[in-house]
Chains A and B, each alone.
Chain A
C-alpha cells in the first residue's frame, strides 16, 4: 500500500482529501503544520507528499526544499491556498514539484492526479 503524507492546516480539507484517497486504497497520514510536516517526511518515508503553501511555522516552500534535499525522489503535489499566484507557482515548479493544484479544487480531480503520479 502506498503511503501518502498530507500536510494541511485546515482539518476539514485534509480529512476530505484523506477520505477520498482512502477510498482508492492508499495509506494516508495527516499532519497540521510545517514543523510536524518536516518531521513526518523524515520518519515516515512517504511515497507521495501533498502539501499546502501557507501554514503555521513553516511555509510549503520550505517543506518542498526539505523534501527535495532529503528524499529527492518522492513526488510532491502542492495544494495552494494562495491560488495561482505567479511567484509561488514558478518557485514550486522550479523546486521540482510534480503537480500544482490551486484552491478551490475538486477532490476527485486530486485523486486522479495522485493515481497518475503514483503509477
Chain B
C-alpha cells in the first residue's frame, strides 16, 4: 500500500512537471517567430536589442534618426540598445526601401547573445516563474490545437476537477446504486417471505381448527375395524373433499396425526395408522423420499418411521449412506425400527464415522427393538469403520449383553486402542471377572488412556496380580496425576495395606494429597 501511494505521488509530480515544460515551449523555436513573440511581449526584463547594419554607408535619414542613434563601427553601424520590442515592426519598416544588410543583435543585460541565447534566457525566466509571457489573443476560428497550447496552465485546480471528481462521481454512484439495488432486493425478498409465511401460518391455523374436532370424534366414535372398512368418500363427512385435495391441508393433517401418534397409546395408535393409510397420506410420505431437498427427505423418513410404513423400506435403505447427516441418521433410525428382523449389516457397511448424536439416537431405538426382536450385535465388530466397531462394543455394555462377552474376549487382543478402552469399560460395567488377565495386561500398558481404563476396571475386578502390577508401577514409573489417582484408588479398593505402604511416608507430596482425597468420606461416595 505504501509503495502504491508513493508511486501515485511520484507520477503526479511528473505530470505537473511536464505541464510546466509545455508552457515554456510556447516560446517559438525559429528566429522570425521568436521576433514576433517578443513584439507581443514588448518588454522583457534584462533583455534588450540593437540594430546592426553591415554596410559601409548609411542613408542620411537613418543616420540622423534619433530613434536609432547609429554609431559607426569597424564593419558598419550599430544602433543604441533598446528595450521596447513592440517597436520592432515599425523600425524594420524604416529600413524597408533601402536594400541594406540589416540584422538584429540581442543583449542580456549588457552581454551580446545570439537569438537562441535570448530565447534560452526568456525560457529560463518563464520556467522559474519570474516572468509571465503574454499571449496573443487570437480568434477561436484559428487552429484549436495552437490555441490549446497557448492556454495558460494553472497546476492544481484544473488537475483536481478533471481527474478526481470524475472517479469520485463514479464510485459514489456505484456504491449508491449497489446499495439500493441490494437493499431493495432484500427487502422485497423478506416481505415476500414474511407474507408467504404468515399466509401459510394462517392457513395452517385454519386447517388445524378444521382437523381437531373431526379427528377427535373419529377416534372416539369409530372402532378400529369400522375405520378399516371406510371408503375414501366416507371420510368426506369428516374432512371436506376439496380440502383433502390441498397439499398444505394434507401436510397439516400428517403433522397432527404424527404428533398424536407419538403421545397416544393402545388402540388409538392403530386407529391413527389406519386413518393415515386410508387418506393416502402414506403415499405422500413415500413421495417425499424422492425430493431433492434434504429436509423434505428427512421429514418423509420421520413420517415413515412414526407410522410404520414398512412398504417403503427399500427406498429408505437407499438413503442409509446419504451424504447428508440428517438424512443418513433418520434413514438408519427408520431401518432399525421397521426391519422385520434387525439386520445390522447395513449399519456395519456405513462408511461415514458415527457421531455421538447418531449413536444416541440409534441406541434409543436399538434399546427399544432389542426387547422385541433378536439382535445380532456381533456383526458390528467386523465393520471396517472404526466408529461402528466402538459403537458395537458400547451397545454390548448398554444393552447388558453378557452373552457377547466371549466375542469381546476373542477380539480384545487384536483390536485398536479405542476399542480396547471400550472393552475394558464394558468388562467393568458387566462385571466380567474372568477377563482379569486382559485387564492386567492393559494395566502395564505404555498408553495412558488404556492403563487408566484398566485401572478403573481393576477397581471392581482386580486380583492379587493387579495389586502387584499397580504397586510396582506406582513405585517405579513417572505417572500423570490422573493415572496415579486412579491407580491409588484401585489399590485402596483391592488391598488397603499395600495402599498404606504406597502412600504413607511417600516422598512426593502428591501421593499424600491423593491419599487424603481417597480417605475423605465426603468424596468417596461422589
Q: Which residues of A contact B (CB under 8 A)?
A: 10-13, 15-16, 19-20, 23, 81, 103-109
Q: Once the chains bind, are B208 and A106 in contact (CB under 8 Å)?
A: no
Q: Does B219 interact with chain A (Cβ within 8 Å)? A: yes
Given the known A-B contacts A10-B259, A11-B208, are A16 and B216 also in contact in the complex, defined by CB atoms under 8 Å? yes
Give the chain A neighbours of B212 by CB distance below 8 A. Answer: 11-12, 15
Contact yes or no, B220 A10, CB < 8 A: no
A-B contact count (CB 8 A): 46
Quick check: A20 and B220 within 8 Å, CB to CB? yes
List B residues 254-300 near A (Cβ within 8 Å): 256, 259-260, 262-269
Q: Within 8 Å CB of B269, what residues of A?
A: 104
A13 touches B263 (CB 8 A): yes
Provide 28 A-B residue pairs closer than 8 Å at the C-beta atoms, listed in order of the A residue. Answer: A11-B208, A11-B212, A12-B212, A12-B215, A12-B259, A12-B260, A13-B260, A13-B263, A15-B216, A16-B260, A19-B216, A19-B217, A23-B220, A81-B263, A103-B263, A104-B262, A104-B263, A104-B269, A105-B263, A105-B264, A105-B265, A106-B264, A106-B265, A106-B266, A106-B267, A107-B264, A107-B268, A109-B265
Chain B: CB-nearest residue to A14? B212
Q: Within the complex, what minimum Cβ distance (angstroms) separates A80 from chain B?
A: 10
Q: Once the chains bind, are A108 and B213 in contact (CB under 8 Å)?
A: no
Q: How far is the CB of A102 from chain B (nearest CB, A)?
A: 10
Given contacts A10-B263, A19-B217, 13 further A-B contacts (CB under 8 A): A12-B208, A13-B263, A15-B216, A16-B219, A19-B216, A19-B220, A103-B262, A104-B263, A104-B265, A105-B264, A106-B267, A107-B264, A109-B266
What residues of B have a CB within 8 angstroms of the CB of A13 in the complex?
260, 263
Name the A residues within 8 Å of B266 (CB-CB).
106, 108-109
User: In the complex, A23→B216 CA distance in Å?
Assistant: 12
Shortest Cβ gap from B367 to chain A (Å): 13
- Using CB atoms and an 8 Å cutoff, list the residues of chain B in contact with chain A: 208, 211-213, 215-217, 219-220, 256, 259-260, 262-269
B268 touches A106 (CB 8 A): yes
Bound-state CA distance A68–B476 (Å) is 64
In the complex, chain A residues whose CB is within 8 Å of the CB of B208: 11-12
Pairwise interchain contact B264-A104, C-beta atoms closer than 8 A: yes
Give bound CA distance, A104 to B268, whole Å.
11
Q: How far is the CB of B286 from chain A (nearest CB, A)?
A: 24
| Chain A residues, CB < 8 A from B216 | 12, 15-16, 19
Please, how many angstroms separate the alpha-carbon atoms of A104 and B260 in the complex? 9
Name the distance in Å between A55's Cβ and chain B's nearest Cβ: 14
Ordered nearest first, which 9 A-B pairs have the shortest CB separation?
A106-B266, A106-B265, A103-B263, A104-B265, A19-B216, A15-B212, A104-B263, A16-B216, A104-B264
Beyond A23-B220, A106-B268, whether A15 also contacts B213 by CB under 8 A is yes
Residue of A nearest to B264 (CB): A104
Docked CA distance A10–B264 (Å): 13
Residue of A nearest to B208 (CB): A11
Q: How far is the CA of A13 from the CA of B219 in the complex (A)?
A: 12
B213 partner residues in chain A, CB cutoff 8 A = 15
Assembled-state Cα–Cα distance A39/B208 (Å): 26
A10 vs B216: C-alpha distance when bound (angstroms)? 14
> B220 contacts which chain A residues (CB < 8 A)?
19-20, 23
Residues of A within 8 A of B217 (CB): 19
Chain A residues contacting B256 (CB-CB under 8 Å) are 12
Nearest B residue (CB) for A101: B265
Task: Give the one of A10, A104, A105, A108 with max B CB within 10 A.
Answer: A104
Residues on the A chain within 8 Å of B267, using CB: 106
Q: Which residues of B contact A10 (CB under 8 A)?
A: 259, 263
Q: Which residues of B contact A20 (CB under 8 A)?
A: 220
Bound form: Cα–Cα A12–B263 in Å: 10
Chain A residue nearest in CB terms to B261: A104
**B211 cross-chain contacts in A, Cβ below 8 A:** 12
Alpha-carbon separation in the docked complex, A18 to B312 (Å): 36
Complex alpha-carbon distance, A16 and B268, angstroms: 11
CB distance from A117 to the nearest CB of B (A): 19
Give A13 to B212 CA distance when docked, in angstroms.
9
What chain A residues lie within 8 Å of B268 (beta carbons)? 106-107
Most buried by A among B208, B216, B260: B216
Interfacial chain B residues near A109, Cβ < 8 Å: 265-266
CB-CB < 8 A to A81: which residues of B? 263
**Distance in Å from the Cβ of B247 to the closest Cβ of chain A?**
20
Chain B min CB distance to A54 (Å): 12
Give Cα A109–Cα B216 distance, bound, in whole angstroms.
Answer: 16
| Most-contacted residue by chain B among A13, A16, A105, A106 (CB, 10 A) | A16
Q: CA separation between A39 and B216, bound complex, in Å?
A: 27
* Nearest residue, chain B, Cβ from A105: B265
Closest to B216 in A: A19
Name A103's closest neighbour in chain B (CB-CB): B263
Give chain B nearest CB distance to A94 CB in angstroms. Answer: 22
In the complex, the chain A residue whose C-beta lies closest to that of B257 is: A12
Closest residue of chain A to B217 (Cβ to Cβ) is A19
